[in-house]
Amino acid sequence: MFGLDDQIASLGAGEAFLVVAIIAILLGLRHATDPDHLTAVSTLVASGGADPRGAGQLGLAWGMGHATTLFAFGVPIVLYRSYLPELVQKGAEILIGLVIVALAARLLVNWRASRGADRPHAHPARTPLQAYGIGLVHGVGGSAGVGVLLLASIPDHLEAVVALGLFATFTAVSMAVASTSFGWVLSRGAVQRSFVSVVPALGALSLAFGVWYALGAVQAVPYVF
């Protein structure tokens, strides 16, 4: 995002593996802040009305799903420079956009249903297993991301795989922290009461972002991230 991955990676050029490991961790922590990741998880948490603990579980489950496919598809890249076919990558990016659209639509549907309910959060929350599945999809779409390409430049294959594992793991850690923080904010009384009024805006923006992301995957609109 905005060249930050390259700036982080340049810190450790030619240094020992400890520096490489630190760089992989930093890349993982930053990777979780990509707009599509934050949009997906924020709508996921908001739709379920989760408390901080529940929100953290959803974020961690999403992150672990992302880490699973990121590592699985990243290993061939760092070892053999073997990439998924372009058509598969493009299909995964389209699917990510559609998942974001679905999450946003669910958020709006739940909001509308809760307006007539006695309790604003009577609707069921997403389960960690569902969040894990959503993370799996995102991991496929990001398996050839800038972070993985940078790690592929590490000449030692064992170091490269370990660095990839750290990168994937700390993406999950970062997302768990981000979602827990979001859930904590939503659990505050004043915020919880006022949040209901901004749900339509959040849902509409997320919906628009998902459509834009899917169209960007087929180069129908400019894609800047």
The answer to whether 8 and 21 are in contact (CB under 8 A) is no
pLDDT tens digit string along 143-166? 556 677 777 777 888 888 888 999
In the structure encoding, which two tokens stand for residue 9, read together?
Answer: 């990676």
How does DSSP classify residue 85? -
What pLDDT, on a 0 to 100 scale, did the predictor assign at position 212?
92
Parent domain of 77: 4-217
What pLDDT, on a 0 to 100 scale, did the predictor assign at position 144?
52
What pLDDT, on a 0 to 100 scale, did the predictor assign at position 166?
92
Q: Please report whether residue 222 resides in a domain.
A: no
Residue carrying the six token digits 């990243």: 74
Low-confidence residues in the chain, pLDDT < 70? 1-16, 47-50, 115-125, 142-146, 189-193, 223-225
| 124 φψ region: left (φ > 0), alpha (ψ -120 to 50), beta (else) | beta
Q: Which residues contact 198 (CB under 8 A, 6 or more apart)?
A: none
Q: Please report whether residue 182 resides in a domain.
A: yes
Kindly tell me the number of DSSP H helices and DSSP E strands found in the chain: 9, 0
How does DSSP classify residue 34? S
How many domains does the chain fold into? 1
Q: Please report whether residue 225 resides in a domain.
A: no
Query: What span, in angstroms and rounded, lies between the C-alpha atoms of 49 and 124?
Result: 9
Residue 152, SS3? coil
Q: Please report whether residue 25 resides in a domain.
A: yes
Closest CA to 63 of 222, 160, 176, 197: 176
Residue 133, SS3? helix
What pLDDT, on a 0 to 100 scale, did the predictor assign at position 191?
64
